[in-house]
Structure 1
């Protein structure tokens, strides 16, 4: 560590909080523009700033300065504002619409404009996607003030030649969760001891948003309002440069790009981006940080292979995404091996990189514009050279799942058309060709074997979408929105019965609403064909039957309840006037039995994966509309499980004593359903809650130990983990957990090394990996052949009168696996229908 850096890190708080520490270089400032310190009534770095105060300050700048305007692009789950402060000269802002059109001309492959140096460069300074990495939002306040108030010639030059969009907090819900924690435990004097509560945030911590999603993985998946709002804004502006500010462990220094080499064998991101532009900008950051004595590193880690980061998504839109990682003070001051790292010091590095980003972009604006123009033109030329001219897709049995997939394509501005045969087609020859590749292409060869995140992201597989590449495309009507994707006929009133098709993604939500309204609905364990009011109709396993005469409500009330759910969820409903079916069992058969209303609890808290718990919570809240009780681990010993028929345990380390383990086992034994996911399934096996086994490595006493260089140990061990890949499983569609599926094989997502051995009970293995299971993503030959191929993905194990549903894989990964959500939802609604024969 440099002497200068150490001195700065050890400066006492009364000196380090002074405004000059950050801003002296950019004097003079306009006197009528309040600084952050004047507005907040404390110095930046003295406390963690709440998001509402951050927004209020930016609103104040927009109010008092003709250099700034503010725009709200959305709200978080908890109702906090998502805003962008636009900064430039008054002249540029008054002509912003005109500049926007000139700027967008460079993203249109049909245009050949050449005024590269005449249009201000568009820069998005984006901060704080991880809520408990707070230094960058404080730097956003300093950056906003500097660009709005500084009269320094350097800053004036920047705003003359740039339009700067400051997004101060991408994850306000998570930030405020952490802000409350850090400020609550802040001592006077500050306590730098790493063991102090201030530096050890409680579960689920502030990294994630309201539903505990990592928003830095959500740019591609766009499940949350924060991401959807930002994407809608992004595709209106297509900034040339986008920042992505983060924090890392306190023992580190500072990281900026270039990153570790892209793990893809043939990256769809242009080489000029991750080599030339990153290196060019990196030289600027090195010089700026050298000038303030900060240490840093590049290239070693943080591969940008996954396209859903804030620092990688812009790279697929003709821009340059830039990642920054600052060693965190994890509070206001903390002791490290190199002395004490302070909150103001971390802010200063982020502020310096913010200003430097604008400097580099302005000084290379012609190059950035030419690069963006070439990016979109090359999309068409590359598509023309490809043998694949498009992808057709669709699903005859589930219109709402198709609608959700089309919504995702349109959000990324991918062109979708109706094809001549009634399915849908995405042509490859379009400006968003690289996003089309991202959505549909799969890979089995890679340059690298260790990934910072997922190595598979073909979203068509996430949605279990039937798709295929085609060499010719026939384009019909262009799809601009999803309003008319789903078409279901109205049903007539019946005095006898109604049938709801279980195949549709939205039917479980409709079922829950009907049960909540007091109606009794049954599920058929066998397929059948009925003479409906509108004609003969075949129904799949799991079809819902609602007999009118058995309800406590009148036939008119039943009809109105069904109309409400069809209007809301757009699902197929059929009126029936006879219980005598054309094929299969009749409506009074014992194969058609009433569904118990799920009463669900889930263990959360220390040791539990907040990501997976949040995925379950989000699924039930936002798509099914079903409440779930979240029981903290600290309360489990005194909790009463008798009010629930389903308990969910996601991946985690469950430190439960014998009494607590027996409590779960006795509850399951009495007829209830335990659902375990990932390492929770391993826990259930290890604790002998079930009589199932794991596939373990074979011991070979004759194996010769080969010496290897120590320096390669981390890399060699890392490749044996499974960061995230897609595999094919054989599914028993006759099993209650397989109801609603028509295909015997489906894709699943695996990001763990939990290998379930197929059950010894021949009826208990619901899903098993095929003999040729690989679809997309990296896996070692050893993991593929020794562990995955022989393994099961989903097992149900009988425990007394109840059962444990063991998922090896996560069916709800990042809120995006529409294709396997049904497996999990079936376990909730139909768990008690599973009576595994001995």
Structure 2
């Protein structure tokens, strides 16, 4: 086909669409007084289509920014900051006036001087604020299927570099440095585009029922491991987030905006955010949110674009891109544009919304944000400095002045927590001598975090056991809950790092007086103590490095045994689960291999010259089991919740370097699973497993367990095994408990309601009870950390702390298992001690008390192990890792597969 014929064919195909949408014929920027320089390449000149006409692949976004840098190297600099799991490079673009570009290092250094008022006086800070351009950070496309923002990033950059007639641009370039991160999630974006292109028909279809608007599992929102990158900022599990956060800390912008999309039937959201605000945000930040919002509104009013503020998207959870920068002093915001999820969509009100509309709107707010920073440059820099001043002052005089983490059994967990904080700009020290503080004595090597530092508010936000929401806000949510109306709690209400990592962290009301050395980002390396062993090497169980060591040793084909119970040898007690690597023939080779694995994994290994055990099981006891390398499978695809499947796979594969086979859930119904020893069922969406597996698939799964398989159900996947029709788990999911329920969960007996009932006289409490529904699920939890107690006598509890913190979400509550059927390996605490952090509805607190978190039930030669809450959520519950990995490795070791 000739190029002329191809061109005519394109026109014929898209002419009806163009005629219906004359906006395509207009300039993307709605103001007619603006024109553009010819020496700066437009999107069309590089990618062969105008801005907003097509959804741009991540590689083409890169190609366009490279063209801008090539055309205007004096005003644009591209900086790579990370590589995605699938190998795509992430970068940000620095844009400013040529004279500012020549002093970028000075500008960055000045921001770090403002960051520390202990070494920068108020007079020096005033001078810096008077002559330093302020940094605006615009971040686009953290969710891959929120497609307009990355195209808006290109349009924004082009406008800043090429526009003529926009009076703001000169001021923006002169008074600020604009940093654009155009694609935060290239893997997810390209997944979305590939699926969209596959579903696209003759012309873009506006019908929201069209396949092009309905993504198949797992959608493009997430990255390769199906993580929501917008929840990962303080836990730093994903390379995309780690690199981005490091870059932001390098520049310390005064304003940070994360540009998103939401449902098609909304309009546009920008700051101020909804209640509740995190109490560690300061008044100046809240007033600046108003400042940015008002300028955005001015431009939307000019162009006739609808918007709203304050109703949703609260500023409470610190793990968003639009919240985490707040804790070094930035004004951080989220902008949300209604999504076309394609090139055009028909909204419920009948209006057509084009992709081009959505790109334009994000472009408008991007430029308005840069304008606000440029116009208020000196004030924002002064506010940034004052944030640090007050943080240090509060740290010196507050009710908590230091956090102290003494050495403890899971020292790797302590080191991980310390390194997490250091990576986020927190000053952390390790004591070189013992010291006394807050009424107790701490040994050498205790971790010390003095709060008289600029990062004080971040430390309090991440380390405090409880970050309080306003009482009036909670009261309103409970009022809504009582009427079974949806609450407006947007995300989890608990995220305390010491609780999630199950690490002791003492809050102290005084500063520590002791010599310390700075803690680095990298944790201490592993090593072999005691030199080459003549009898065995021991790896104490209960830490991430120990699990990594086991994973590596099994894959290397090494002989590894493990004790179910604690034991004492040479006056040292070793926890249950401790790995035992016997020395057999080639002792020298084994030592080299063990030493290499210790260094690689961070594990602490002890070499022994005797096997004489003075307490607990000896090495030849039946309570010592051989650890074999299980083949592990995970259910993948519908109906699993993509987040859950990806998070679980990530924990096993990337945190512990153990391979997992992902099997499409529909294939499990007929698959030969005899090659696998462990199958993990992650949490599901609303559908559940029963409909996909069917009766035959469910029965096949049970037969596999009976022959020696280990089935792990996580969160609401437990519904499948607990269903009486499955007959795999002798627990049941509960309805909401009613007032007067007895220990069996049965309300006071009442006769079936006849057609006519006796009359009643109601008062207010009686009315509330009269309208209460029967047989409904418990109220859903947004996310709170609950305390659970572990049974020390079961092998699943080997090496596990006696008390754990569990992130509870959703509405599932289960009955305990009876002792003749199985074991409640971990159960929730009583109602008075249940809540460790966050908010729980009062009725949930009563009903969850003493209910199981982990249940183990033998089924034939295998086991069903049910976690009633997901232990792998967001990969940040490190304190649950030993229990979860015991369910994989130790359960497989205890199963007795039937030889066929």
2:741 match: none
Higher deviation after alignment, 171-180 or 391-400? 391-400
| CA distance in structure 1 between the aligned counterparts of 2:777 and 2:363, rounded to whole angstroms | 34
Q: Distance in 2 between matches of 1:62 and 1:184?
A: 33
Does residue 160 of structure 2 align to residue 147 of structure 1?
yes
* 1: CA distance, partners of 2:32 / 2:104: 29
Counterparts of 1:9-88 in structure 2, within 5 Å, are: 12=19, 15-18=22-25, 20-22=27-29, 25=32, 27-65=34-72, 66-88=74-96
Aligned to 1:760: 818
Structure 2 counterpart SS, 1:129? coil
Relative to 1, partners in 2 of residues 1:12 and 1:824: Cα closer, same or farther, differing over 3 Å? farther
Please state how far the C-alpha of 1:250 moved relative to its aligned partner.
1.0
Moved more, 397-406 or 242-251: 397-406
Q: Are 2:377 and 1:342 aligned?
A: no
Alignment CA distance shift 1:50-1:757 (3 Å)? same
What is the aligned partner in structure 1 of residue 480 from structure 2? none
Shift of 1:546: 1.9
Is the 8 Å Cα contact of residues 487 and 570 (structure 1) preserved in structure 2? yes
- Compare 331-340 and 140-149 and name the one that shifted more: 331-340
Q: 1:470 to 1:803 in 2, by over 3 A?
A: same
Aligned to 1:565: 597
Structure 1, residues 377-414: CA drift from partner, whole Å, max 9, x if none? 11012222313221111443233222221121111111
Q: 1:132 to 1:123 in 2, by over 3 A?
A: same
The equivalent position to 1:544 in structure 2, one of 579, 585, 600, is: 579
Residues 26/505 of structure 1: CA separation in 2 closer, same or farther (3 Å cut): farther
Find 1:664's aligned residue among 685, 694, 701. Answer: 701
How far, CA to CA, are the matches of 1:209 and 1:250 in structure 2? 22
Q: Which residue number in structure 1 is paired with residue 317 of structure 2? A: 306
Structure 2 equivalent of residue 522 of structure 1: 561
The reply on whether 1:605 has 2:617 as its aligned counterpart is: no
Alpha-carbon distance in structure 2 between the residues aligned to 1:512 and 1:107: 42
C-alpha distance 19-488 of structure 1, shift in aligned 2 (>3 A): farther
Contact 2:853–2:869 at 8 Å: present in 1 too? yes
1:388-537 residue pairs with structure 2 within 5 A? Answer: 388-419=400-431, 420=434, 421-422=443-444, 423-443=446-466, 445-447=468-470, 448=473, 449=477, 450-472=488-510, 473-483=512-522, 485-486=524-525, 488-531=527-570, 536-537=571-572
Q: Give yes or no for contact 1:23–1:146 (8 Å, CA) kept in 2.
A: no
- 1:582: Cα distance to partner? 3.0
Residue by residue over 1:205-262, the C-alpha shift from the partner in whole angstroms, topping out at 9 and shown as x without a partner, is 1101111110111112111111111111111111011111111111111111112112
Is 2:783 the counterpart of 1:724? yes
Q: Structure 1 residues 398-407 or 63-72, which shifts more?
A: 398-407
Check the 8 A contact 2:402/2:451 in 1, yes or no: yes
Change (3 A) 1:142 1:719: farther
1:161-310 aligned at under 5 Å gives the runs: 161-262=175-276, 267-274=279-286, 276-310=287-321
| Paired residues of 1:26 and 1:155 also in contact (CA < 8 A) | no
**Structure 1 contact 78–210 (Cα < 8 Å) conserved:** yes
For 1:376-387, what aligned pairs fall within 5 Å after superposition?
Answer: 376-387=388-399
Matched, 1:811 2:871: yes
What is the CA–CA distance in structure 1 between the aligned matches of 2:69 and 2:854, rounded to whole Å? 55
**Inter-partner Cα distance in structure 1 for 2:729 and 2:673:** 19
CA–CA separation in structure 1 for the residues paired with 2:115 and 2:291: 22
Contact 1:19 1:37 in 2 (8 A): no
Taking structure 1 as reference, are residues 835 and 203 closer, same or farther at Cα in structure 2, changes over 3 Å only? closer
Give TM-score, length-normalised by structure 2.
Answer: 0.86
Q: Secondary structure at the match of 1:498?
A: strand
Q: How is 1:605-754 mapped onto 2 (pairs within 5 angstroms)?
A: 605-652=637-684, 653-654=688-689, 655=691, 656-686=693-723, 687-699=726-738, 704-706=766-768, 720-741=779-800, 743-754=801-812
Report the Cα distance in structure 1 between the residues aligned to 2:779 and 2:384, rounded to whole angstroms: 38
Query: Residues 599 and 644 of structure 1 are in contact (CA less than 8 Å); yes or no, is this contact kept in structure 2?
Result: yes
Shift, 1:12, TM fit: 4.0
The unaligned stretches of length 5 or more in structure 1 are 1-8
In structure 1, C-alpha distance between the alignment counterparts of 2:130 and 2:289, rounded to whole Å: 20
Q: Is the 8 A contact 1:669 1:801 kept in 2?
A: yes
SS class of match (2:516): strand
Q: Distance in 2 between matches of 1:580 and 1:626?
A: 33
Structure 2 SS opposite 1:438 = helix
CA drift of 1:488 comes to 3.5
The DSSP-based 3-state class of the residue aligned with 1:642 is coil
SS in 2 for 1:760: coil
2:340 alignment partner in structure 1 = 329
Q: Distance in 1 between matches of 2:354 and 2:150?
A: 16
Aligned to 2:149: 136
Offset, 1:27: 3.1
1:582 matched to 2:643? no
d(CA) in 2 for partners of 1:394 and 1:489? 23
Determine helix, strand or coil for the equivalent of 1:114: helix
Distance 1:619 1:200 in 2: 29
Cα-to-partner distance string for 1:358-395 (whole Å, 9 max, x where unaligned): 11222222221121111111101222231322111144
Indicate conservation of the 8 Å contact 1:125/1:243, yes or no.
Answer: yes
Q: Is the 8 A contact 1:399 1:486 kept in 2?
A: no
SS of match in other structure, 2:667:
helix
How far apart, CA to CA, are the structure 1 residues paired with 2:339 and 2:291?
A: 26
From the superposition, tell whether residues 709 and 799 of structure 1 become closer, same or farther in structure 2 (CA, over 3 Å): closer
CA deviation map 1:751-784 (0-9, x unaligned) = 2222122211176011111221211101111110
Offset at 1:718?
A: 13
**CA 1:724–1:412 in 2, change beyond 3 Å: closer, same or farther?**
same
Question: Between Structure 1 and Structure 2, how many residues are aligned?
Answer: 811
- TM superposition shift of 1:278: 1.8
Q: Kindly provide the CA deviation profile for residues 265-298 of structure 1, in whole angstroms up to 9, marking residues without a partner as x.
A: xx11113323x22222211111211222221111
CA distance in 2, matches of 1:439, 1:302: 20
2:114 aligned with 1:106, yes or no?
yes
Matched residues in 1 for 2:394 and 2:466: separation? 18
Shift in alpha-carbon separation, 1:814–1:507, aligned structure 2, 3 A: same
Give the match's secondary structure for 1:676. strand
Structure 2 counterpart of 1:6: none
Does the 8 Å CA contact 1:724/1:750 hold for their aligned counterparts? yes
Cα drift, residue 444 of structure 1: 7.4
How far 1:106 sits from its partner (Å)? 2.6
* Residue of structure 1 aligned with 2:386, choices 374, 381, 393: 374
Residues 783 and 559 of structure 1: CA distance in aligned 2, closer, same or farther (over 3 Å): same
Report which stretch shifted further, 309-318 or 160-169: 309-318
Question: Deviations for 1:460-517, whole angstroms, at most 9, x for unmatched residues?
Answer: 1111111111233134223241456356444533343322222332122211222222
Other structure's SS at 1:803 match? strand
Q: Distance in 2 between matches of 1:301 and 1:14?
A: 31
Q: Cα offset for 1:630?
A: 0.7
* CA RMSD in angstroms, aligned pairs only: 2.5
